[in-house]
Chain A
Amino acid sequence: MSDKQGFMKALKCRECGREVPLTATHVCEFDFGPLEVAYDYELIKKSLTREVICSRPQTMWRYRELLPIAGEPTVGRQVGYTPLVKADRLAKALGIRELWVKNDAVNYPTLSFKDRVVSVALSRSVELGFKTVACASTGNLANSVAANAAAAGLDAYVFIPSDLELGKVVNSLVYGANVISIKGHYDEVNRLCAEIAGKYGWAFVNVNMRPYYAEGSKSMGFEIAEQSGWRVPEHTVVPMASGSLLTKIHKAYQEFTKLGLVPESKWKVHGAQATGCSPISVAQKAGLDFFKPVKPNTIAKSLAIGTPADGFYALKVMKETGGHGDDVSDDEIRDGIRLLAENEGIFAETAGGVTVGVAKKLIASGKIPAGSSAVLCITGNGLKTLEAMTGHVGSTREIRPSLREFEAVMAQDKPELVAR
């Protein structure tokens, strides 16, 4: 290990195992396989204990040794450590003994789990000397890159599909980022960004910075394990877009187990998609280890990736852990959002509706047994996707400021109170 690399050893190809230096690159030039950060676990084991973690501030950086930066974090130092909420009312509604909600809808600063990956990607970008950061995004990532780049004094270019929800567009523009709206779906945005990244030499967080960026997702898994009382939950339900988050939560559980921070146990990781963009869950249900790309058509725009880069690896994790994939329709997504809101007071974005909807299906079918305990990963905030729920949550009843008019309303709702 050199001092400049921290606890990282190299970038390693997930296909052929070849190692390359820790630069801004994401693909193995021998077989196009994705590169992943390799760590010095022996060194980490000497440094990272439960006591050390507990002595640190309550942010994702309390697991700093397992995150891929060489020095100390410089961007997003307050990110993470979101609540793990015991969801008793939702558990009853879904028919399961015990349910927990990992609530990244309140992640700091932009209300989605993307702040985790962005704080890692931008801290590493600063280490590598970049001044301009960029991303291809379905919305949440754009918000997070824009905000964190602003706070770090970096220039930001964010690329989004032109049909995004207004909340996600304004939430990128407000930070002064350059927002480029592409007439096409996310896969087309991503294809363009792959070409732009090759030409402009910026730190594209989910292109050439992807090996570092993706590791940030592990912090959600570390927190779940710590907040569950230093153990891995039996069942974790994770929404899938590219499939990366699911694989990284599994990796987090593996790393904590390997380091002796949690006892050895068996866990299942389940993947949730929207039926309108379900290449991974369809393949899982068919027992395949490869997927067929699709053209997305769903209200869950943050999950609308028809050609998921980590789809193959997500399928592998589900198979290895005995987890299941499933998908839900747009109406079931809205029902899922309502269930979470009405039972737990948590307003999730459409991806959260997907997670709740799929959890409901998996519990109903016994794939997650009624007597077990499960964690649902909620990754984004409902205030950003208001369009999805507008017209589906009832409507206000407008009256003049008159007691008589209010009592006319109450006469319909609770006549026994009016009569008193």
Chain B
Amino acid sequence: MISISIPPTLRRFCGDQSTVDVSPGTVATAVGELHDRFNGIRDRLLDSGGSIRGSVLIFVNQEDIRFLQGQETPLKEGDEVSIIPAFAGG
């Protein structure tokens, strides 16, 4: 399975879980699976055109998917996915 780390803002939509396991595939299929299990979550992550919102960052094994293959980034057994809001300055 693939472990998805859910940020506090979204936990309310995911049965208050901090991580959720999904099947291998791609980031897009993982978001689809999340949406099937927790109705409404896709709209939190994607805009009306189906793109990942600018304010949402998704990482696969600590790498921003925008440096990988975006929503088509493959997810294989054991991969770790993090969803977090965009970064502020420091």
The reply to whether A191 and B59 contact each other, CB–CB distance below 8 Å, is yes
- Of all chain A residues, the one with the shortest Cβ separation from B13 is A29
Contact flags A65-78 to B (C-beta < 8 A → 1, else 0): 00000000000000
The reply to whether B89 and A312 contact each other, CB–CB distance below 8 Å, is no
Chain A neighbourhood of B20, CB < 8 A: none
Number of residues on chain B facing chain A (CB within 8 A): 29
Chain B neighbourhood of A206, CB < 8 A: 88-90
- How far apart sit A249 and B57, CA to CA, in the bound complex (Å)? 26
The reply to whether B82 and A305 contact each other, CB–CB distance below 8 Å, is no
- How far apart sit A243 and B88, CA to CA, in the bound complex (Å)? 8
B17 at the interface (CB under 8 A from A): no
- Of all chain A residues, the one with the shortest Cβ separation from B56 is A32
Contact flags A118-147 to B (C-beta < 8 A → 1, else 0): 000000000000000001111011100000
B31 at the interface (CB under 8 A from A): no
- Of all chain B residues, the one with the shortest Cβ separation from A114 is B90
The reply to whether B88 and A214 contact each other, CB–CB distance below 8 Å, is yes
- CB < 8 Å neighbour of B84 from A29, A194, A243: A194
The reply to whether A290 and B54 contact each other, CB–CB distance below 8 Å, is yes
A381 at the interface (CB under 8 A from B): no
- How far apart sit A206 and B90, CA to CA, in the bound complex (Å)? 7
Interface of B: prevailing SS: mixed
Chain B neighbourhood of A135, CB < 8 A: 90
Stretch at the interface among B22-30, B62-70, B71-79: B62-70
- CB < 8 Å neighbour of B7 from A28, A194, A210, A310: A194
Chain B neighbourhood of A191, CB < 8 A: 57, 59, 62, 82, 84, 87
The reply to whether B54 and A312 contact each other, CB–CB distance below 8 Å, is yes
- CB < 8 Å neighbour of B18 from A29, A186, A198, A245: A198
Q: B interface vs A, CB < 8 Å?
A: 5, 7-10, 12-13, 18, 43-45, 53-57, 59, 62, 64, 66-67, 82, 84-90
Q: A interface vs B, CB < 8 Å?
A: 15, 25-34, 135-138, 140-142, 186-191, 194-195, 197-199, 206-207, 210, 213-214, 241-245, 290, 292-293, 295, 305, 307-310, 312
A-B CB contact pairs (8 Å), 22 listed: A26-B85, A26-B88, A29-B13, A32-B44, A32-B55, A32-B85, A34-B86, A135-B90, A191-B82, A194-B84, A194-B85, A195-B5, A197-B8, A206-B89, A213-B88, A242-B90, A243-B89, A244-B89, A305-B90, A307-B64, A308-B86, A309-B86
6 smallest beta-carbon distances between A and B, as pairs = A242-B89, A309-B86, A190-B87, A194-B84, A137-B90, A198-B8
